[in-house]
């Protein structure tokens, strides 16, 4: 009778799957051998002549045979399970191989897609660049045609007008048309004064056209077109006229303002300093163009918060303009506004009030009390009063602006024709709902929509009312301001391009208003009069 040798449990725990299968087969062979031996013993017992003893032993043998059969069945199950696990592992390996292949294909497709997208992007950039080059060439062709259309007699008249200081309309257009300003509604200047402003320097017509085109692109946020256009023009001017030429300085000023709108202050400061050096060298240190560059450089420093560095530049620009234009010229008032804003940010409120007072005096005497610059300057002065806590003085100025605007639009004030702030205060006193006819409300809203300065005053006075606890009055003004703003957004967006083409300077004002870049002051209310002065100073 053979004996079965089983491995120890410690050895079984360290066996691999193949070793377990081999051991199981060995055990099956041993069990089959035992089964055969037990069968022989059972047959021999059954043939024995001692039935009681044979029956007892045969019962034990049968139990042993049943245990052997059970062991054989379990061994077969183990072998079948091992085969199944091997098949599962094989399928698993196949799936892993497929996953790796799919990952590689996916990565390849991603690389192909990225490459295709990159090619598409380069193609789109090439198409856009070609389109812009086409537009630039068409524009340059138009400028060339425009220059060719100028007759020799007209050129002679223009040059003689600029050199003799006399003149007329041809010489007056040199500066005024280059940087038009819808706020300058005063009377025409005498020819001698115009000649003094220009100092004999005439800006070419192509630069005026180029400036308006650049402003249009910049107002639309298309700096990728405006900057290359300026650089190309600057390069052409330097090749034809040399670096130290007034036209090059004018182009440097235009490019610097585009960089300033992009918040590239270092590049803008470098260009403005270069333009200042050229103008001082070629035109003299007391030329209006030098004052304009000084003003632009001061505004740039103000935007960067360098108010102390900006103030002496602004004062020097003021001295030049007072010397050349006289102390009561509207451009002097604009310079006073900028200087007041710089002082206001440094807390020099006495100087601020003095400069705003002088600017108001100039605007009212030269342009009239109804000129928009008067209301803008009063708004700025009211903001100065607010910062000092002089709420009564600020409130009086706001009411004065609204009353003057109301009288200009709707006639003299009486019981049946009151400005909006009076209705607001009546509502505050009676605590009743603000009720007016629809026609009256529509006329007010249309008026505020067409007068941004008055609308700003309306919101400022509403905020002041709210600070004083006059909530009903504040809500009345804010309701009119919000309705006029809501109704005006679509109209402004639709007519912006048309207005830009009509007036190149006003587009810059709208752009500054949209982007919140309103000059050194940093606040919309105190910078209403600053935008036009910045762009007007490029010359």
Mean pLDDT calculated for residue range 99-123:
92
Three-point CA angle 502, 507, 508, nearest 5°: 145
All residues at 6 or more sequence positions from 197 whose CB lies less than 8 Å from its CB, including other chains:
175, 189, 288, 324, 325
pTM strictly above 0.75: no
Minimum mean pLDDT range among 26-35, 151-160, 243-252: 151-160
pLDDT (0 to 100) of residue 74: 86
Q: Crossing angle of helices 205-219/471-502, nearest 10°? A: 140
Q: Which residue has the higher pLDDT, 470 or 46?
A: 470
265-293 pLDDT, tens digit per residue, is: 999 999 999 999 999 999 999 899 999 99
Confidence at residue 9, expressed as pLDDT on a 0 to 100 scale:
54
Predicted pLDDT of residue 461 = 87
pLDDT at 431: 65
Residue 355 is encoded by which pair of tokens?
């400069």
Q: Is 417 helix (H, G, I), strand (E, B) or coil?
A: strand
Rounded Cα–Cα distance for residues 479 and 87 (Å): 79
Q: Please tell me which residue, 516 or 412, carries the higher pLDDT value.
A: 412
pLDDT tens column, 459-475: 888 888 888 888 888 88
Look at 4 and 65; give whichever has higher pLDDT. 65
What's the mean pLDDT in 447-464? 76
What digits encode the pLDDT tens for the residues 402-429? Answer: 888 888 888 888 887 888 888 888 888 8
For residue 448, is pLDDT > 60?
Answer: no
Most confident of 266-270, 452-456, 524-528: 266-270
Q: What is the model's pLDDT at position 339? A: 93
Mean pLDDT of 444-450: 53
Q: How far is 114 from 360, CA to CA, in rounded Å?
A: 62
pLDDT recorded at residue 335: 94
Least confident of 22-36, 416-430, 432-446: 432-446
Whether residue 355 is predicted with pLDDT greater than 90 in this model: the reply is yes
Q: Quickly tell me which residue has 């702030």 as its tokens.
A: 421
Q: Cα separations (Å) of 152 from 147, 207, 396?
A: 11, 19, 58
- In this structure, of 98-107, 219-228, 245-254, 514-523, the range with the lowest mean pLDDT score is 514-523
pLDDT, tens only, 167-182: 333 322 222 222 323 3
Q: Please identify which residue in the block is written with the tokens 């295709």.
A: 116
Average pLDDT over residues 471-492: 69
pLDDT at 344 over 90: yes
Of 359 and 24, the structure prediction assigns the larger pLDDT to: 359
- 6-20, 131-145, 486-500: lowest mean pLDDT where? 486-500
Higher pLDDT, 496 or 305: 305
Mean pLDDT of 499-522: 38
- pLDDT at position 199 is 54
Burial class (CB in 10 A: 0-12, 13-18, 19+), 54: middle
Q: Which residues contact 130 (CB under 8 A, 6 or more apart)?
A: none
Residue 189, pLDDT > 60, answer: no
Helix (H) or strand (E) holding 383: helix 372-387
Least confident of 136-140, 169-173, 328-332, 424-428: 169-173
Distance (Å, rounded) from C-alpha 286 to C-alpha 290?
7
Instruction: For residues 183 and 192, give the distance between their C-alpha atoms in angstroms, rounded to a whole number.
Output: 23
Q: Is 414 helix (H, G, I), strand (E, B) or coil?
A: strand
pLDDT for 241: 86
């Amino acid at each position: 009778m053979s004996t079965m040798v089983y491995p120890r449990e410690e050895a079984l725990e360290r066996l691999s799957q193949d070793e377990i299968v081999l051991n199981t087969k060995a055990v099956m062979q041993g069990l089959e051998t035992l089964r055969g031996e037990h069968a022989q013993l059972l047959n021999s017992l059954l043939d024995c002549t001692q039935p009681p003893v044979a029956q007892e032993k045969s019962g034990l043998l049968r139990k042993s045979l049943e245990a052997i059969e059970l062991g054989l069945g379990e061994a077969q199950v183990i072998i079948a399970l091992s085969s199944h696990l091997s098949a599962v592992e094989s399928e698993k390996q196949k799936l892993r191989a497929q996953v790796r292949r799919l990952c590689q294909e996916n990565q390849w497709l991603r690389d192909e897609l990225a490459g295709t997208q990159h090619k598409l992007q380069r193609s789109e950039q090439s198409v856009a660049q070609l389109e812009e080059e086409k537009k630039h060439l068409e524009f340059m062709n138009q400028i060339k045609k425009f220059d060719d259309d100028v007759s020799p007699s007209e050129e002679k008249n223009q040059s003689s007008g600029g050199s003799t200081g006399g003149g007329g309309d041809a010489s007056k257009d040199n500066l005024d048309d280059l940087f038009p300003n819808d706020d300058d509604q005063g009377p025409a200047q005498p020819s001698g004064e115009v000649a003094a402003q220009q100092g004999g320097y005439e800006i070419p017509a192509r630069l005026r056209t180029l400036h308006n085109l650049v402003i249009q692109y910049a107002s639309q946020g298309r700096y990728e077109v405006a900057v290359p256009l300026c650089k190309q023009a600057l390069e052409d001017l330097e090749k034809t006229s040399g670096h130290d030429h007034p036209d090059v300085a004018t182009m440097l000023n235009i490019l610097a303002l585009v960089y300033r709108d992009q918040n590239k202050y270092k590049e803008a400061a470098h260009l403005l300093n270069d333009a200042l050096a050229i103008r001082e060298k070629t035109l003299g240190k007391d030329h209006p163009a030098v004052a304009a560059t000084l003003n632009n450089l001061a505004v740039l420093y103000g935007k960067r918060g360098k108010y102390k560095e900006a103030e002496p530049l602004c004062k020097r620009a003021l001295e030049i303009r007072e010397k050349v234009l006289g102390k009561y010229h509207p451009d002097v008032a604009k310079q006073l506004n900028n200087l007041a804003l710089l002082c206001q940010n440094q807390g020099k409120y006495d100087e601020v009030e003095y400069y705003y007072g002088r600017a108001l005096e100039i605007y009212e005497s030269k342009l009239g009390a109804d000129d928009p610059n008067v209301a803008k300057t009063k708004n700025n002065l009211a903001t100065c009063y607010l910062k000092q806590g002089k709420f009564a003085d600020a409130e009086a100025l706001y009411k004065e602006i609204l009353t003057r605007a109301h009288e200009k639009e709707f006639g003299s004030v009486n019981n049946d024709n009151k400005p909006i702030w009076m209705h607001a205060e009546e509502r505050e006193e009676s605590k009743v709902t603000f009720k007016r006819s629809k026609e009256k409300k529509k006329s007010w809203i249309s008026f505020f929509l067409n007068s941004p300065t008055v609308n700003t005053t309306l919101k400022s006075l509403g905020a002041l009312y709210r600070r004083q606890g006059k909530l009903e009055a504040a809500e009345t003004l804010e309701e009119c301001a919000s309705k006029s703003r809501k109704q005006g957004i679509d109209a402004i967006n639709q007519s912006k391009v048309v207005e830009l083409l009509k007036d190149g300077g006003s587009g810059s004002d709208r752009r500054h208003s949209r982007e919140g870049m309103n000059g050194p002051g940093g606040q919309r209310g105190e910078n209403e009069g600053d935008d036009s002065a910045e762009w007007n100073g490029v010359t």
